[in-house]
Amino acid sequence: MYADQSVYSYPSRRAKIATVEHLNAPSSWSDPFGGEGTMNDLPPWRVVEWPELDSTNAAAHRWLNKPGENSASNGHRLVFTTPHQTAGRGQQSRPWHGQKGMDLAMSVVLTDSLPSACPFALNLAVSLAVLEGVEKAMPKLEGVPWEIKWPNDLMLRGKKAGGILIENSWRGHHWASSVIGIGLNMGGRPPYPNATSLLDDNRNLESQLSITRTHVLNQLNLRLAELNSPKILLQQYHERLLGWGQAQRWQLDGQEIRGILESIDLQGKICVLDASGQQCYAPGEVGWLGMEPS
């Protein structure tokens, strides 16, 4: 899976979802688009893996919308993963491409304790968890530029190595569920000039994929416990932010914006100091063009 665009989605109001109290999780689940998946426990997560899927986020949404007892809120902390996505996607349904067995693609379902008072806290927690999980799985990355490009592209040495797609469902004013798609360019050959892979050596790739997935989920579990501390999460997010305090270029409605990335606020907006003063923009409103030459 290779991401070429920013992939944060503000909470959107999708179709209403029925509430179910209990999960009787099967050892496998048949998906009309992905065949049969095998379910394993990785406390506090339940992981369903398929040899191939169209999209892990799409599979998660099919679960949530499936009638009966194995859907909706009883899918809390369910993880959908595959070594091969045939129709991966990013923000605004942009296609993501990946090589079979070479990259990490998974989607996490959350239906409980979502931070309705500060939705962007979830983005902060997930972005930090992925960075930290990969570092624990690949100690060689500690100390190298492994950063977040606002809002949640994952950058290694200035090139994209992964992305996060968060899709939300609301029932009235209640945040009913979130599907968090995580894609990491592990060992595949990036098809885009601004992309890179996390691994230099593909030996033991299958084992490395499993180890990385486990560490990312472990860190996500820790970070989700901090959702009620959004200011602390935001401070730590800034510390891992690509180009914080540096001059950069963005595009807004076909016009180029030049300025210094001053901060990200708790609504997820990027605040830029340009010639006319500070301007703030929402995710999806501006596109990143690159750093200014130093």
Domain range annotation of the chain: 28-238, 244-291
- Specify the 3-state DSSP secondary structure of 174: strand
Burial 166-179 (b: 16+ CB within 10 A, else e): bbbbbbeeebbbbb
pLDDT of residue 37: 86
Query: Strands of 45-49's sheet, edge to edge?
Result: 28-31, 35-42, 45-49, 78-82, 104-110, 174-184, 159-171, 153-156, 146-149
* Residues 287, 269, 13: CA angle, nearest 5 degrees: 90
List Cβ neighbours of 200 (8 Å cut-off, separation of 6 or more).
none
Alpha helices in 23-174 (DSSP H): 56-64, 120-137
Maximum distance among all alpha carbons in the chain?
Answer: 59
β-partners of residue 104 are 184
Alpha helices in 184-275 (DSSP H): 205-224, 230-239
Cα of 181 vs its chain's centroid, Å: 5
pTM here is 0.87
Helix (H) or strand (E) holding 73: none
- Domain 28-238: top CATH class: alpha beta
Per-residue model confidence as pLDDT tens for the chain (294 residues):
333 333 333 333 332 222 222 333 446 678 877 788 888 888 899 999 999 999 999 999 998 888 665 555 578 999 999 998 887 665 545 556 567 888 999 999 999 999 999 999 999 999 999 999 999 999 998 889 999 999 989 999 999 999 999 999 988 888 999 999 999 999 887 767 889 999 988 888 999 999 999 999 999 999 999 999 999 999 999 999 999 999 999 999 999 999 999 999 999 999 999 999 999 999 999 999 999 987
Six token digits for residue 17: 């979802």
pLDDT of residue 174: 87
Under a CB-based contact definition with an 8 Å cutoff, are residues 57 and 106 in contact?
A: no
Smallest CA-to-CA distance from 226 within 149, 108, 109, 127 is with: 127
Distance from C-alpha of 166 to C-alpha of 54, rounded to nearest angstrom: 17
Q: Is the torsion defined by CA of 232, 237, 239, 245 positive or negative?
A: negative
- Domain 244-291: top CATH class: mainly beta
Helix (H) or strand (E) holding 29: strand 28-31
Distance from C-alpha of 257 to C-alpha of 178, rounded to nearest angstrom: 32
